[in-house]
Amino acid sequence: MTFKKNSSAADSIFDKTAGDCHENMTGTRIPLESLPNTRDLGGIRTADGRIIRPHRLVRSGALAGISDADREILLNEYNVKTVIDFRTDTEREEKPDPEMEGVRLIIDPIAEEETMGITRGRQGLLELLNLKQDADALMLKIYPELVGSELSQKHYARFLFFEYLLAQEEGAVLWHCSAGKDRAGLGSALVLAALGVPESVIRADYLLTNDYLQAANRQLVAQLSKVPGADEEKLAKIKTIFDAKEAYLDSALDYIKNKYGTMREYLEKALGMDEAKLRKLQQMYLMEAVETGALKKHMIDTVKEWQLKIGYMEENMKLYYPAQSLKALLGLPEEAAQEELDTALAVFAEKVYPSLGRLKISHNKERYCLDIPAEGCAYIAREVPEPAFLKQLLAVITAPGKTLSDVRRCFADYAAGQKTGFVEEDGAHDGMGHVFYFEEGADDCYVYCVEENEFGLTYHRFGKEDYEYART
């Protein structure tokens, strides 16, 4: 996805090394039914090409009202160990966070009690109906205060660099305010900036709140419309305040620029981040980028192969891989430790969602199972074209009376159409039968091992890395 770089004065507050990166992804929404604006920041790419580790940094709205099923997802799938609540005392009293076993709850209020425009206690929402000033003007005043006041800086500093993120050696930290827009949104922006994420991605992640809270905000405005005296003009102001606007974020960034010069100077002088803390934060929460294309293609091709052979069935499919094959497909070195492979697979699972659905990944020693849910298999059946060569080869393999000569002719005809050649090898000494594969330039990159016996023809298809691994 490409994001247009904002040309406002706020751009210059980011160090030049943070640059612009056009292929960065934003945080991934965690599919929770009761919490619409909960996101894993894992997978976001930094300017130097690293990515945020998955299941470590989670931003959210308030957790009050979380369902049991969603609680289990946060605890078991995302391994949330610490929850940081940015809300005021009044907000917490009205809608307290639930207790969750094994989770430390930290109270870290970013704003003064009932700050009009950002806190969402009942009284604060009612006061918004009587707002006299322009709604945009109110938010443009509040955002600089959220990064400039002594209270906010004290608590953002605790969140980022002292007691919380730097102390979280394992598991995920989840931070939230009421809606997950203003206090949590600016907290996320500061975290991403400290990790070296480009400004264009920070902006895009902030603005995603509009997509995820649209339905909830509409419902809240509908409830407020029933309050006596709530006319269209008043409700329009509330709708404006509920929006995540680029201008609001810019007002905070402009404040930082005007007072500190750069984001780096702000983090150091206002929040107490020195070089050692920055390095530790990045070591804890960043990892080298993971190549996902090869494994995704292999999985899709394998599922499509079986759908061609036996037809599409509305069910999940389990694919099994040796650890070494997964390392090769993910671009990891052969000597990569199991922990590194597991982390890379978690990143991969986030990147292929939602097209392949929520993968379930398990392993028994060196053998891994990647379980594609039914919706992922349905996506492949619906969206992925049938592979032309495999379809032709299966017609030969399954037809009565066909021989290796027919297989050879099938390869030759397809290679001619692709303006390339093919290779045939005798793999009998390796137990691989007759080996066929295309030279460079063909749209089929697999190795086919074909055997002929009294029952006809059978074949096995391998990726080239898997073929070499199988031979050994």
Mean pLDDT (whole number) for 13-35: 63
Check residue 158 and report its DSSP letter.
Answer: I
Query: Does the bond joining 354 to the residue before it have cis omega, within 30 degrees of 0?
Result: yes
Return the CATH fold of 9-287. Answer: Protein-Tyrosine Phosphatase; Chain A (3.90.190)
Higher pLDDT, 337 or 300: 300
Q: Are the CB atoms for 344 and 359 separated by under 8 Å?
A: no
Mean pLDDT of the region 400-408: 95
- Looking at per-residue pLDDT, the higher value among 133 and 251 belongs to 251
Specify the residue for token string 């006596």. 228
Helix (H, G, I), strand (E, B) or coil at 254: helix
Decide if pLDDT at 87 tops 50.
yes
- Beta-carbon contacts of 356 under 8 Å, excluding residues fewer than 6 positions away, are 296, 299, 300, 372, 373, 376, 379, 380
| Among the listed residues 87, 140, 143, the one whose alpha carbon sits nearest the alpha carbon of residue 114 | 87
Give residue 290's pLDDT band: very low, low, confident or very high (50, 70, 90). Answer: confident
Q: Rounded CA gap, 83 and 174, in Å? A: 5
Measure the CA–CA gap between 137 and 432, rounded to whole angstroms. 72
* CA–CA gap between residue 16 and residue 67 (Å, rounded): 44
Range name among 243-257, 288-302, 427-441 with the lowest pLDDT average: 427-441
- Contact between 387 and 304 (Cβ < 8 Å): yes
pLDDT of residue 19: 35
Residue with tokens 């995540």: 244
Q: Is the pTM above the cut of 0.85?
A: no
Q: How many CB atoms lie within 10 A of CB 238?
A: 20
Domains 9-287 and 293-383 share a fold: no
What is the SS3 assignment for 382? helix
For CA atoms 294, 300, 302, 304, give the dihedral sign. Answer: negative
At 41-51, the pLDDT tens digits run 998 999 998 99
Q: Which of 256, 137, 117 is closest to 190 using CA atoms? A: 256
Task: Tell me the C-alpha to C-alpha distance, in Å, between residue 216 and each of 35, 219, 221.
Answer: 10, 5, 9
Please state, in angstroms and rounded to a whole number, the distance separating the CA atoms of residues 255 and 134: 20
Contact 189, 10 (CB under 8 A): no
Residue 29: CA count within 13 A, CB half-sphere: 18
pLDDT digit string, tens, across residues 354-375: 899 999 999 998 999 999 999 9
Radius of gyration in angstroms for the set of CA atoms belonging to the chain, rounded to a whole number: 27
pLDDT band with cut points at 50, 70 and 90 for residue 442: confident
Q: What residues does each domain of the chain span?
A: 9-287, 293-383, 388-471
Question: 293-383: what fold?
Answer: Phenylalanyl-tRNA Synthetase; Chain B, domain 1 (3.30.56)
Q: Determine if residue 203 is left, alpha or beta; phi over 0 gives left, psi from -120 to 50 gives alpha, anything else beta.
A: alpha
Digit-coded pLDDT (tens) for 171-228: 999 999 999 999 999 999 999 999 999 999 999 999 999 999 998 888 888 888 887 7
Q: Please, what is the end-to-end C-alpha distance for the chain in angstroms?
A: 41
Q: Which of 267, 137, 138, 245 is nearest to 191 (CA)?
A: 267
What pLDDT score was predicted for residue 66?
A: 97
Share of the chain above pLDDT 70, in %: 90
119/37 Cα distance (integer angstroms) = 16
Residues 393-416 have a mean pLDDT of 95
